[in-house]
Each structure stands twice: as C-alpha cells, then as structure tokens.
C-alpha cells in the first residue's frame, strides 16, 4: 500500500507570494492533518480534515488555510508569505478520527518551503 | 491545550550504551505515540500505547505508558548508529481532536 505523498518536495517562494501544497493520504484514510515543523517551534498543528470538513484548527493566522476533496486528498494554502513561514510542512493521514482511542497518524515526507 | 514535555532534548552516546527518553504531562491522554524522524523526512510511527501501564517492545526498543496515562518512556538497549534521529512523542487529547507533540529528543549514537 502506498504511503502518504506530498508535492512538491521543495519550494522556494518570495515574500508576499502565495503557495499551495498538496497531500494524498494512504488509500482508505479519510483524516488528514497538517503540521508546520521548524527548529525553534518543533511540530505545530495547523488543521485537521475528516470527510471534507475541517474539524480542528491550530493557532495560526488566517493566511493559512486548507481544504479536503471528496477523494480525501488535501491542499493547504499560505497567502502573503512571510520569511517566518519557511519550514517543513508535513501532512499526516489516519484511518480513524482523532477522537478514537487508538488514533494513529502516518506522515508524508513533507514539503520544504523556503521564503526569501 | 495539553502540553507534553520531552527530555532530554539532546543525547549523544556511544554504540552499545542504553538510554531512556521521557515524555511527561500533567494531563491525561487517550493514547500516546512515539515517532522517529530522520533529516529531510517525515516522522515514522514506531508504536502506539493506549492502556495505562502498557508496555510494548520493538526489538531493542521498549515503550511504556504510565499508569495514569500522563507520561511515557522510551528505552533503547544497546544503541546502534542506526538509532540516530529525532524521537518525538505525541499524545491524543482525551477530549480534544488532535495530537499534541513533544519538542523531541535528538539522539546521536557514535560508533
């Protein structure tokens, strides 16, 4: 079974631009979560989608948004990029929603975003 | 939001030594996962523990969930250079809707 795939793997953008990142979950998984990872802040939760609905959102500004499609694929968008948005953006999929006791997430390789 | 404190932050040891990484919180978690991440890659799930007091073994790695489901430990026996990486613990919020991650432990095993 194929794992979580993320595209692109690497991206360089200029401050003020916007970016869209894509995530394809493991086949059959309906929950997709997004995280931002930086050396200073570690892994920070962005948002989680289940069956096309955003069920939870982290403490990020409105410039960060996402969506999930009927085939469970997800995209996240960052508008008006800032230098501080440079990070590894990770997508994770799971079979069950986070409220289940045996909740497990499987991560993709991430998209390395550099903002100059 | 529940918080997970992970210790130590850094660990540099010689091949063959034993080590323990701790993950602590004042909150109760419905489950706890341990991940290992290598540079430039996403975290890889090692184990999930659900029941208080649960112990799981994965070759030379032993994972334990505290009786009160507030803490967990990862013990590695006879560490090898291939164990090098960032180890992350993550707890499922008991009444929330997401995983809470610890800051991570960077492990370096020297040959």
pLDDT in tens, A6-56: 999 999 999 999 999 999 999 999 999 999 999 888 899 999 998 899 988
pLDDT at B31: 86
pLDDT at A77: 98
Mean pLDDT of A102-112: 87
Q: How far apart are CA B70 and CA B32, in angstroms?
A: 9
The whole-number pLDDT of residue A102 equals: 58
How far does CA B19 lie from the centroid of its chain? 12
Percent of chain B topping pLDDT 70: 95
End-to-end CA distance of chain B: 40
Q: What is the pLDDT of residue A89?
A: 98
Answer with the residue of higher pLDDT: A61 or A94: A61
Beta bridge partners of A112: A10, A88
Q: A78-91 as b/e, with b when 16 or more CB fall inside 10 Å?
A: beebeeebbbbbbb
B33: which chain A residues are within 8 Å (Cβ-Cβ)?
104-105
- A90 interaction partners in chain B (CB closer than 8 Å): 42-43
| Residue whose C-alpha is closest to residue B74's, from B10, B12, B6, B25 | B6
Q: What is the distance in angstroms between the Cα of B89 and the nearest Cα belonging to chain A? A: 11
Under the banding of pLDDT at 50, 70 and 90, the label for residue B29 is: confident
Highest mean pLDDT among A57-61, A65-69, B30-34: A65-69
Name the average pLDDT for chain B. Answer: 92
A42/A27 Cα distance (integer angstroms):
28
Instruction: Give me the residues of B, 43-62, that contact A with CB < 8 A.
Output: 43-45, 48, 50
Residue numbers in B near A89 (CB within 8 A): none
Question: pLDDT at residue B41 above 70?
Answer: yes
Q: Looking at residue B34, what is its pLDDT?
A: 96
What is the model's pLDDT at position A99?
Answer: 59
pLDDT reported for residue A73: 97
Six-digit token pair at B86?
């960032």
For chain A, how far is it from start to end, CA to CA, in angstroms? 37
Beta bridge partners of B55: B64
The whole-number pLDDT of residue A25 equals 96
């Amino acid at each position: 079974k194929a794992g979580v795939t993320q595209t692109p793997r690497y991206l360089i953008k200029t401050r003020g631009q916007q970016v869209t990142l894509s995530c394809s979950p493991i086949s059959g998984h309906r929950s997709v979560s997004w995280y931002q990872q930086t050396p200073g802040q570690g892994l920070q939760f962005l948002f989680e989608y289940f069956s096309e609905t955003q069920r939870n959102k982290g403490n990020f500004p409105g410039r960060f948004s996402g969506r999930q499609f009927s085939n469970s694929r997800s995209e996240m968008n960052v508008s008006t990029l800032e230098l501080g948005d440079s990070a590894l953006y990770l997508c994770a999929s799971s079979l069950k929603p986070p409220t289940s006791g045996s909740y497990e997430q499987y991560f993709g390789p991430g998209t390395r975003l550099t903002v100059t | 939001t529940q918080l997970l404190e992970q210790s130590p932050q850094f660990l540099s040891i010689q091949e063959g030594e034993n080590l323990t990484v701790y993950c602590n919180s004042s909150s109760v978690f419905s489950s706890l996962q341990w991940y290992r991440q290598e540079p430039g890659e996403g975290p890889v799930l090692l184990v999930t523990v659900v029941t208080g007091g649960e112990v799981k073994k994965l070759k030379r790695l032993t994972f334990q969930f505290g009786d009160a489901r507030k803490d967990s430990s990862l013990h590695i026996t006879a560490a090898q250079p291939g164990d090098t990486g960032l180890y992350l613990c993550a707890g499922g919020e008991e009444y929330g809707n997401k995983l809470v991650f610890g800051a991570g432990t960077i492990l370096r095993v020297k040959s």
